[in-house]
Amino acid sequence: MDNNNKNSKKNLGLSVKKYDNISEWYSEVVIKSELADYSKVSGCIVYRPLSYGIWENIQEIFNFMIKSSGHKNVYFPMLIPESLLLKEKEHIEGFSPEVAWVTEAGNSKLNEKLAIRPTSETIIYDSYSKWIRSHRDLPLLLNQWCSVVRWEFKHPKPFLRGREFLWQEGHTAHASFEDAEKEVFLILNYYKDLIQNYLAIPVIEGYKSSLEKFAGAHYTTALESFMPDGKALQMATSHHLGQNFSKPFEIKFFNKKGEEEYVYTTSWGLSTRTIGALVLVHGDDKGLVLPPKIAPVQIVIVPIFKEDNKSKVLEFSEKIYNALKDDFKIFFDDRENYTPGWKFNESELKGYPLRLEIGIKEVEDNIVTVFKRNTFEKLKVNVDVLKSKIKTLLDDIQKELFENAKKLLYDNIVKVDSLDEFESALKNNKLIYAGFCGSEECESKIKEQFSITSRVIPFDSEEKNCIVCSKKGKYAYFSKSH
């Protein structure tokens, strides 16, 4: 078999450049990098090993965080009886067109139809009302990892918009408003840590406006990131639910004074959308670029040999592999049926942060050629210092990706003082920073005129008169959004 034939199974290169058509580029990267594939049901994707590996890393990091503060994982049923889902009508009202139902089994109709969970507040609170009796049962700090189904009709995009996606949903109950508030911000800070320090994506944080908050919430906090297509993407959200759910679900406890009170609850979530953000923010014309701290493969080793030096090169490569394998996530790519060039392309497409290229020259000089995926630099590194050099390089890549993403975010923020400036900033796909009174009335006017809403009102926002009504307000971010 000649080399051409040997690797002709698929064309690895991308046909679209990121900034020529970012939406097409995105779809091509997701499929060709083998992150995900489409299925027979529109909006339902297959999470292939690369994206599932990223998700497992996210799970590991986030589990470590929440377990350190006493949270525990649980699993509730995916089927929710209609009567339960409709118990707190207000929160479900706007969402009901998206709920998918199981109505029959085999040949018989069910007595009561069952919702496939779009979110689990109702089924979880049904249990909480049985489990919580006294202040000694609080706080109750539970989380679940699961998938949810929301029957969207907008055009699906892998990870960013789909009908079934993976997430975690945390649901906690507390004895006081203040305790619940502390929880909301504790979790928001975990999310911020995960997203900035592991996914290398900077966020802006703040409250959602009254129009944009979760209808069931007392208030909603969120982390938003800015994508290179000029649209913001909500990365995670953490809600203070006050007693909005504990009252209809009758979750009551006897406080220390022996009086009966309703609990205060919170809920918070982060989904596989964040994988879409990783692709959009860090990817380039060659494919994915994965931050080392989240990459399922941090280093790929590619041996390059001819028949007469094969054993020398493989032996040396294996020695390198063994020296590094306990410290890093490594793929020793010694597959026989692929050429080194093909493996190079594949590793670039899949975004592996570092590639070690080892040929006979490297063996003779006791060095390794190290390729940095994010900058395309090649370095010759002596084997004696390889481990520490790799540590430094991975740290460098992590920092460089975050710095580039920060530049993307901050270069796109535009402060505006009038609706004219607002309009032109929006045309340029900017992240607009404008005075806003917070009222639903003014935000609805903006929504009507420009088809966008606010993203967040930063926690430390300065005072600024509203761009619509001129009344007292604070700065808020506005932009298109995913």
User: Is there binding between residue 162 and ligand 87F (CB under 6 A)?
Assistant: no
Is 98 a residue that touches ligand 87F (CB under 6 A)?
yes
Which residue among 32, 150, 350, 474 contacts ligand 87F (CB under 6 A)? 150
Please identify which residue in 12, 92, 235, 299 interacts with ligand 87F, judged by CB under 6 A. Answer: 92
In sequence order, which residues have a C-beta less than 8 Å from that of residue 451 and are 6 or more positions away?
A: none
CB of 138 to ligand 87F, least distance (A): 19
Residue 98 vs 318, nearer CB to ligand 87F:
98
Q: Retrieve residue 112's tokens.
A: 């009561």
Q: How far apart are CA 79 and CA 105, in angstroms?
A: 13
Q: How far apart are CA 424 and CA 428, in angstroms?
A: 6
Closer to ligand 87F by CB, 33 or 265: give it.
265
Q: Which is nearer to ligand 87F, 267 or 453 (CB)?
A: 267
Among 81, 114, 125, 169, the residue binding ligand 87F under the rule CB under 6 A is 169
How is residue 360 written in tokens?
Answer: 């006979």
Q: How far are the Cα atoms of 103, 301, 416, 430, 452 from residue 435, in angstroms, in the given order? A: 48, 53, 8, 16, 15
Angle formed at CA 396 by CA 392 and CA 398, multiple of 5 degrees: 120
Q: Min. distance of Cβ 291 from ligand 87F in angstroms?
A: 24
SS3 204: strand
Q: Which residue in the shown chain puts its C-beta closest to ligand 87F?
A: 269
CB of 180 to ligand 87F, least distance (A): 14
x/- mask, ligand 87F, residues 269-298, rule CB under 6 A, reads x-----------------------------
Nearer to ligand 87F, 95 or 254 (CB): 95
State the nearest-atom distance from the C-beta of 91 to ligand 87F, in Å: 6
* Distance of closest approach, residue 457 Cβ to ligand 87F, in angstroms: 18
Q: What is the residue-wise DSSP string for 310-325?
A: HHHHHHHHHHHHHHHT
Rounded to whole angstroms, the Cα distance separating 198 from 191 reads: 10
Binding window for ligand 87F (CB under 6 A); candidates: 37-45, 94-102, 372-380, 401-409: 94-102
Kindly state the smallest distance separating residue 118's Cβ from ligand 87F, in Å: 3
In order, the DSSP letters of 263-311 are -EEEEEEEETHHHHHHHHHH-BTTB----TTT-S-SEEEEE---TTTHH
Are 355 and 300 contacting, i.e. CB atoms less than 8 angstroms apart? Answer: yes
Binding of ligand 87F at residue 62 (CB under 6 A)? Answer: no
Residues 370 and 355: their CA atoms lie apart, in Å, by: 6
Question: Does residue 119 bind ligand 87F (CB under 6 A)?
Answer: yes
* Interaction of residue 346 with ligand 87F, rule CB under 6 A: no
* Contacts of ligand 87F in 207-266 (CB under 6 A): 214, 237
Whole-angstrom distance, CA of residue 145 vs CA of residue 269: 10
Residue 330: CB partners within 8 Å, gap ≥ 6? 297, 298, 299, 300, 301, 321, 324
99 binds ligand 87F (CB under 6 A): yes
Query: Which one among 38, 52, 95, 254 touches ligand 87F, defined by CB under 6 A?
Result: 95
Q: Residue 104: beta bridge partners?
A: 109
Q: Decide: is 166 part of the binding site for ligand 87F (CB under 6 A).
A: no
One-character DSSP codes across 412-466 = TEEE-SSHHHHHHHHHTT-EEEEEE---HHHHHHHHHHHS-EE--EETTPPB---
Residue type, 13: G
Query: Which residue in 118, 248, 287, 473 binds ligand 87F (CB under 6 A)?
Result: 118
CB under 6 A: which stretch of 92-100, 101-109, 180-188, 285-293 binds ligand 87F?
A: 92-100
Count residues contacting ligand 87F (CB under 6 A)?
15
Please identify, using beta-carbon distances, which residue of 165 and 352 lies nearer to ligand 87F. Answer: 165
Q: CB 469 → ligand 87F: shortest distance, Å?
A: 29
Provide the 3-class DSSP secondary structure of residue 379.
strand
Tell me if 267 contacts ligand 87F by CB under 6 A.
Answer: yes
Go through 234-265 and write b for each residue having 16 or more CB atoms within 10 A of its CB, e for each that does not: bbbbbbbbbbbbbebbebebeeeeeeebbbbb
Smallest distance from the beta carbon of 76 to ligand 87F, in angstroms?
A: 12
Q: Which helix (H) or strand (E) holds 12?
A: none
Reported as type and span, the H/E element at residue 102 is strand 101-105
Using the contact rule CB under 6 A, the part of the chain among 53-61, 267-275, 299-307, 383-391 near ligand 87F is 267-275
Q: In the complex, what is the shortest distance from the CB of residue 79 to ligand 87F, in angstroms, rounded to a whole number?
A: 14
Q: How far is the CB of 233 from ligand 87F (least distance, A)?
A: 15
Q: Which residues make up the interface to ligand 87F (CB under 6 A)?
A: 91-92, 95, 98-99, 118-119, 121, 150, 169, 214, 237, 267-269
